[in-house]
Structure 1
């Protein structure tokens, strides 16, 4: 007797579930490193063991200050701060006695992207980060004060500050059982503790870029972390160039203007040709591309930003096309989808950073969710979560990148270009 297609599909599904129940789970899965898991099926639900960020951290390189002290700052009457030290990403918490107990310039700390905000003994003192380019370094007039900075405009409260737990919450479902693992899953998984570096900063980018490079058709190897020192970076690049034939070398971090951003200096020391450094894209504007000489020929060097979302965007839209050209492949063509929303994230701390048309002079890339909606064809909405180059929550559900071209304002309902993150168009 011939059965219907619908009945057969239903029977196959129910039979598969019964077979699944009858199996002992431990006999039918294996544990693999996440960079080797792309294309496999998750054997269980993965919940975040922590909230991210774990602490209040800086969103960029700058100086941790008390914003209230800059309330009356102007070009004619700047506010002065004494720099008490430097805080790098991964450093332990720094506590300074309350500013109200000290005379002279206000205290501040030079702070790197991802650095943990310092505390005052009487509560929160350092509530904002002022960008390096918004300060002027000056020599202190009084002996023993060291370096000082001048700020000539008011700095908003919580400026450039990432709040603890605003990205992924402890207990959030990061990846469901039965999901085919995509490269976009690697970043949120790594960010909640799959791998850690010696400095106790979770290495999100290393494992992601390794997996994504393999996904792009490259034979990729993760080279590990490098200390934030010029000499160490120069030596590591020389060792990699001399040990084997490589076509492309990728680093993440160290391409901006912070104290530990040494990539360009290291490349120039090695005689590299800097093709470009800085691109009008958001996220990822500090991205760098250079050419290095080796015994096997020229090697392309991509210096990607350190923020995971920015690194992912630059890799997708700059590094992958380069790899495709090397392989003789046609560039990926986008699909058109109707934009359903302009709600960038879901934070109680809304700011101009969330404005949908911010950065009109830049090409903008946003993680999105493509869906087939009835007779309307493909629609897309931005992935849920607080958007930002450091945020991982949107990548939990994202299955595409939305590309908004420079000088193009966007509105709900218009058609936008989308690039799927995996082989299928919809999740």
Structure 2
């Protein structure tokens, strides 16, 4: 390419997308390609996303349930013992005043019961009658006290975690209708990378090959060891072959490095060779500016995505939280992530016309954020001690006391954000 042609190409290139605009755009296109719904047994549903609302199959509880161990009594005492009620059984009714049945916590309350006397507050003299004073108010749970049959408890788009699984089981569900989890792969670009041992002699250790799959799993993806490929040779044919192969099974392929236009940056020509369309091509954010997201539609009509992460490790994580997180939320049918607000306890500089994502440690009790050290785009030390990225908008500075959004680092699949 001549100097004149290169200059013309730079002039013709579109400006980078604003950070908020890029997040909204990738979420919308992910939601439009939301993955199909499947049925999963409760034991296999953790980390998935509800594809339909969770409703109750019966009233909760389904029958009047004793909240204590004691005596189900009818009328005034003392009471004559006529039976015993254990959990899991349907009791005979108490038909006569002055009668009682011993009852266990969780057991069905007999019809005709007027009160439950706690076992520790009762006596049973030698005549065999039960005496005592029941507490005012019922000592049992009424049917529908927690929910009525058919009531919607959780909306579609709710991440499934152990609490949701337990609730579903209590409602009588054996399976849940959920979105299929996204399948993801990672291509590591760069002949200079080492995959074992210490760096040296001009070669650096690959930190993203082990890191990115772990982040993707925390966003709800399935990533197998065989889905991590590389380092891929720094040639265009090797890039095309690797990306084509990864797209055969994956809904999302992340790549590391090669997002610019250097002499061995082959990602853009590879996307062109495979007929990809850009959703976002560069974002006005620091660090991580040269991130991208592309979309491909296969011969089978299935939509697949390629997320180009910059090669510098912290920049790659910025791309993950900026583009990959909202994309995966859309693909799983989850709501767009809402960013919590924090108060800056120390100043954080702005980056001119670019959004600045600044690594911070958050004091959750105080609601304050403190910038961390060692935050160069090639560094990971600061990231290891951070809770997320404070968002300093374009044209602003982060003064002490300013309220700013923060992008939390992902937790385990299905875990609720702080």
Q: Normalised by the size of structure 2, how large is the TM-score? A: 0.49
TM score, norm. by length of structure 1: 0.48
Please identify the structure whose Cα radius of gyration is greater.
2
